């Protein structure tokens, strides 16, 4: 995707600065070379997420990632630790995969407010400023992953991708999938982290809702940073031509009855179905293992079709990638569609960005969107439902069944058909 703006260079939101100043709090943009301030910011958000106090070395590692982001802290000069922010947020502009390509997305992370300052509207001041910043920078959509699903709906975010935790009782299944023509081999964890990054970057355009990762993300999956874990192992799959096509990081729980251990898949990334199946087979057929658990996997994992008893693999679903449309025409015109549409969409958005009546004409898989003020609406929803349905992760028919979309049967059916996608959207990382 063309060069994206650097979020770190954008000015601080004046409305939130003034609102927080009235409460005696300083809303401050950190400088990317101010290591001490970044470390205090990281220490504050780690405490906000109930993590232990970080070692110096860990803070230095984190600094590298954080220095590339737009970091904002809220400071209370009256505190005993006044150099630690009482609230934190970070953001950066990143591509997100959409049907037919990519879109610039305003990614938001490390939203925390100190337990001493909670429920006074500080998070609201931060989040509303992030959306104003995204809008001012011309970034048409915002995204995040959420610690709790109750926090972000009020700002117009909605879950657009789901993640599944798969579980397989391996004693009850035989492999029934294809024979892989390649081979599996163990690799060093550092090499596995590098291969993960490469394969993720090579394949992220194949999955709707996916975003680029960063080195610490992969090192973390391998147990090489933060919560260091020598129990993590890694294998890669090489195709028949000897090309690395997939990598699996996993851990076997040592505390087990004989031949009944739990194997947890920490991360699996693969270029192509052959490698996905081969790595699953490796996990399922592992000796001494009774259960394989794989969190943060696609909801449409082909697993039930790869084993002798499709009832044995079970999955539980959760919301994962949250999106918030900021610019309706830009977002709708950017994606490809599976069917024609000509209708008026009425979008309600309490924060204003997406609000309005929009004429949506889709022909030959592309949309033209224009303002249609005063026109009668064929489909009515809020920015949350539009954001949830944008990648095809939930159908409008389901949202209508929940009373969250209104309109004519024909218009809803046509729009649903147009939004349909071949595979479920999936975001493989937490950010
Ligand atoms: C979540 C968190 C950032 C909220 O900060 P806060 O400053 O207390 O939030 P605000 O006072 O601005 O509250 C804004 C709104 O969110 C609601 N809210 C805040 N935290 C909530 C929570 N955990 N669950 C549900 N609603 C919540 C408030 O009730 C308020 O609702 P209203 O505007 O409709 O009246 C803070 O509790 C926190 O740091 N939690 C731990 C870390 C975390 O989970 N961060 C989210 C990362 S994804």
Closest approach atom of ligand 1 to CA 110 = 47
223-227, 255-259, 336-340: which has the highest mean pLDDT? 336-340
Pocket test for ligand 1, best of 116, 151, 351 (most atoms within 8 A of CB): 151
Average pLDDT over residues 311-334: 98
Tell me if 174 is assigned to a ligand binding site: no
| Per-residue pLDDT at 164 exceeds 90 | yes
Q: State how far the Cα of 30 lies from the Cα of 110, in Å rounded to an integer.
A: 14
| R_g over Cα of the chain | 23
Residues contacting ligand 1 via CB (< 6 Å): 48-49, 111-113, 118-124, 146-148, 150-151, 154
Q: State how far the Cα of 358 lies from the Cα of 404, in Å rounded to an integer.
A: 18
Confidence of residue 259 (pLDDT cuts 50, 70, 90): confident
Q: Please, are residues 222 and 250 in contact by the beta-carbon 8 Å criterion?
A: no
The domain segmentation of the chain, as residue ranges, is 7-156, 164-318, 327-419
Closest among 166, 162, 146 to 154, alpha carbons compared: 146
* Interval between CA 307 and ligand 1 midpoint (Å): 43
Q: Residues near 236 by Cβ (< 8 Å), separated by ≥ 6?
A: 184, 185, 187, 192, 195, 244, 246, 247, 248
Q: Are strands 261-270 and 87-98 parallel, antiparallel or unpaired?
A: unpaired
* CA distances for 182 relative to 186, 199, 243, 279, angstroms: 14, 17, 9, 11
Alpha carbon nearest to ligand 1 atom 27, residue: 151
Q: Residues near 362 by Cβ (< 8 Å), separated by ≥ 6?
A: 337, 339, 340, 341, 342, 368, 418
The rounded mean pLDDT for the chain is 97
DSSP 376: P
Pocket test for ligand 1, best of 88, 108, 119 (most atoms within 8 A of CB): 119
Closest approach atom of ligand 1 to CA 126 = 12
Q: State how far the Cα of 399 lies from the Cα of 386, in Å rounded to an integer.
A: 10
- pLDDT per position as a tens digit, 358-399: 999 999 999 999 999 988 999 999 999 999 999 999 999 999
| Per-residue pLDDT at 254 exceeds 80 | no
- 27 a catalytic residue: no
pLDDT at residue 2, as a whole number: 80
The DSSP bridge partners found for residue 406 are: 380
| Per-residue pLDDT at 226 exceeds 90 | no
| Per-residue tokens: 51 | 């993590």
Average pLDDT over residues 150-171: 98
Closest among 147, 95, 141 to 123, alpha carbons compared: 147
**Tokens 């401050």 — which residue?**
28
Average pLDDT over residues 276-302: 97
Confidence of residue 258 (pLDDT cuts 50, 70, 90): confident
Q: Is the Cα torsion angle 424, 200, 150, 159 positive or negative in sign?
A: negative
Closest approach atom of ligand 1 to CA 122 = 7
CB atoms within 10 A of CB 94: 21
pLDDT at residue 235, as a whole number: 99
Confidence of residue 257 (pLDDT cuts 50, 70, 90): confident
In the chain, the percentage of residues whose pLDDT exceeds 70 is 100
Ranges 18-22, 39-43, 56-60, 164-168: which has the least confidence: 56-60
| Per-residue tokens: 46 | 């780690």
Alpha carbon nearest to ligand 1 atom 21, residue: 151
Confidence of residue 113 (pLDDT cuts 50, 70, 90): very high
Q: Does the domain at residues 7-156 carry the CATH identifier 3.90.1150.10?
A: no
* Interval between CA 110 and ligand 1 midpoint (Å): 13
Catalytic, out of 152, 237, 353, 390? 152
Q: What is the C-alpha end-to-end distance of the chain, expressed in Å?
A: 20
Q: Write out the E strands in 12-86.
A: 26-29, 70-75
Tell me if 204 is assigned to a ligand binding site: no
- pLDDT per position as a tens digit, 34-81: 999 999 999 999 999 999 999 999 999 999 999 999 999 999 999 999
Confidence of residue 163 (pLDDT cuts 50, 70, 90): very high
Catalytic, out of 237, 337, 353, 431? 431
| Per-residue pLDDT at 256 exceeds 80 | no
Average pLDDT over residues 16-31: 98
Task: Specify the fold of 164-318.
Answer: Aminopeptidase (3.40.630)
- 155 a catalytic residue: no
Helix or strand run (H / E) with residue 362 = strand 356-363
Q: State how far the Cα of 414 lies from the Cα of 350, in Å rounded to an integer.
A: 27
* Interval between CA 150 and ligand 1 midpoint (Å): 8
Closest approach atom of ligand 1 to CA 154 = 34
* Interval between CA 148 and ligand 1 midpoint (Å): 9
Exposure b/e, 161-190, CB count within 10 A at least 16 = b: bbbbebbbebeebeeebeebebebeebebe
Query: What is 327-419's CATH number?
Result: 3.30.1050.10
Q: Side-chain half-sphere of 261: how many Cα atoms within 13 Å? A: 17
Q: State how far the Cα of 305 lies from the Cα of 313, in Å rounded to an integer.
A: 10
* CATH topology match: 7-156 vs 164-318: yes
């Amino acid at each position: 995707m063309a060069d994206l703006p650097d979020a770190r260079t954008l000015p601080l939101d004046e409305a939130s600065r003034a609102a927080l100043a009235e409460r005696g709090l300083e809303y401050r943009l950190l400088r990317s070379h101010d290591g001490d301030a970044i470390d205090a910011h990281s220490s504050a958000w780690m405490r906000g997420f109930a993590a232990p106090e970080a070692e110096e070395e860990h803070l230095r590692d984190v600094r590298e990632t954080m220095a590339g982001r737009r970091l904002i802290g809220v400071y209370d000069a009256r505190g005993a630790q006044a150099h630690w922010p009482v609230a934190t947020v970070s953001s950066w502009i990143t591509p997100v995969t959409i049907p037919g390509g990519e879109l610039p997305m305003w990614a938001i992370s490390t939203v925390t407010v100190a337990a001493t300052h909670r429920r006074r509207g500080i998070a609201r001041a931060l989040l509303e400023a992030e959306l104003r910043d995204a809008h001012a920078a011309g970034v048409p959509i915002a995204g995040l992953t959420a610690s709790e699903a109750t926090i972000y709906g009020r700002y117009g975010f909605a879950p657009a991708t789901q993640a599944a935790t798969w579980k397989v009782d391996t004693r009850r299944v035989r492999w029934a999938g294809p024979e892989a023509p390649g081979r599996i081999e163990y690799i060093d964890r550092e090499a596995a982290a590098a291969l993960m990054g490469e394969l993720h970057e090579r394949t992220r355009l194949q999955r709707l809702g996916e975003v680029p990762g960063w080195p610490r993300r992969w090192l973390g999956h391998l147990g090489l940073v933060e919560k260091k874990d020598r129990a993590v192992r890694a294998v890669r799959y090489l195709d028949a031509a000897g090309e690395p096509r997939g990598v699996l990081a996993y851990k076997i729980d040592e505390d087990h009855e004989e031949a009944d251990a739990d194997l947890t898949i920490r991360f699996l990334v693969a270029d192509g179905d052959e490698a996905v199946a081969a790595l699953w087979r490796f996990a399922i057929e592992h000796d001494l293992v009774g259960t394989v658990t794989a969190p943060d996997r696609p909801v449409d994992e082909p697993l039930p079709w790869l084993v002798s008893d499709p009832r044995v693999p079970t999955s539980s679903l959760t919301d994962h990638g949250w999106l918030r449309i900021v610019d309706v025409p830009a977002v709708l015109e950017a994606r490809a569609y599976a069917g024609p549409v000509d209708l008026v969409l009425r979008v309600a958005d309490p924060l204003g960005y997406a609000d309005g009546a929009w004429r949506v004409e889709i022909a030959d898989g592309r949309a033209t969107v224009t303002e249609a003020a005063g026109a009668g609406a064929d489909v009515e929803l809020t920015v949350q439902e539009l954001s949830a349905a944008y990648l095809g992760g939930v159908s409008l028919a389901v949202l209508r069944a929940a009373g969250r979309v209104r309109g004519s049967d024909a218009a809803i059916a046509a729009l649903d058909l147009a939004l349909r996608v071949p595979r479920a959207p999936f975001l493989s990382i937490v950010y």
